Amino acid sequence: RRRTAVLISGRGSNMAALLTAARDPAYPAEIALVLANRADAGGLALAAAAGVPTAVVESRPFRGDRAAHEAAVQAVLEAHDIGLLCLAGYMRLLTPFLVGRWAGRMLNIHPSLLPAFPGLDTHARALAAGVKLHGCTVHLVTEEMDAGPILAQAAVPVLPGDDAASLGARVLAQEHVIYPMALALVAGRAATPPAADVALSNPLPTPPSLP
Ligand code: GAR
């Protein structure tokens, strides 16, 4: 099983979905570390309760020196003999230092159907744009933000009366489905998979009953 670290900044619901999937001994990845860049990340307590080693490498003391922060993160990953990385609500832009070291081995989940709506506030922006389908994407991390090769996507409908919270909750439920699928896909292959031939079909969400 591939030793995998999950990097978080907040509540860690995607991390929890990965932990649940990895409880199955047949799952090809083992969550060997949960690392946060904030000591107050809620997901740390969840991970500790599940018996998973945790680490905190606070970004704030590095005062914008992203390379130095990433070097500290890399040292912790090496100390835990990590072979795959999952960003799960890890709200840091990465530099070529980490991106280059983990090329083909670092996944991210993003709450939109990329390439639509990279960046922040995706649900409000999807509503403002008037799209009828929204969703989430798991992709390999490359230097350009939210632009790496796509591993998995799931679409959800935008329903009348949705606000960012209701739409975001519908998307989040699908995030918890496709992230474990995408990690299994990458972990089940040889190290450093070629990005181009990695693909999953969409898990189809239950169609809503329309008025
Ligand atoms: C998730 O919706 C994830 O897609 C998003 O943050 C949330 C984290 O929730 N990530 C980004 O916006 C990355 N730019 P979680 O901590 O409960 O997994």
Residues 64-105 pLDDT 10s: 899 999 999 999 999 999 999 999 999 999 999 999 999 999
- Interatomic CA distance for residues 154 and 132, integer angstroms: 14
Residue 66, annotated as binding a ligand: yes
Cα 168 to middle of ligand 1, angstroms: 10
> Residue 86 pairs with which residues in a beta bridge?
6, 107
* Atom 9 of ligand 1: nearest residue by CA position: 89
Where do runs of H (alpha helix) occur along 30-113?
43-49, 66-79, 96-101
Atom of ligand 1 nearest to the CA of 9: 16
Closest CA to 95 of 71, 120, 64, 67: 67
Cβ neighbours around 88 below 10 Å, total: 25
The residue to which tokens 């679409």 are assigned: 155
178-194 residue pLDDT tens: 999 999 999 998 544 44
How far, rounded to the nearest angstrom, does the alpha carbon of residue 96 sit from its chain's CA centroid?
A: 18
Catalytic residue among 110, 123, 139, 176: 110
Residue 102's identity, in one-letter code, is W
pTM: 0.90
| Backbone CA torsion sign across 13, 15, 17, 20 | negative
Q: Has the ipTM of the complex gone over 0.90?
A: yes
Ligand 1 proximal residues by C-beta, below 6 Å: 8, 10-14, 43, 88-89, 109-111, 172, 175
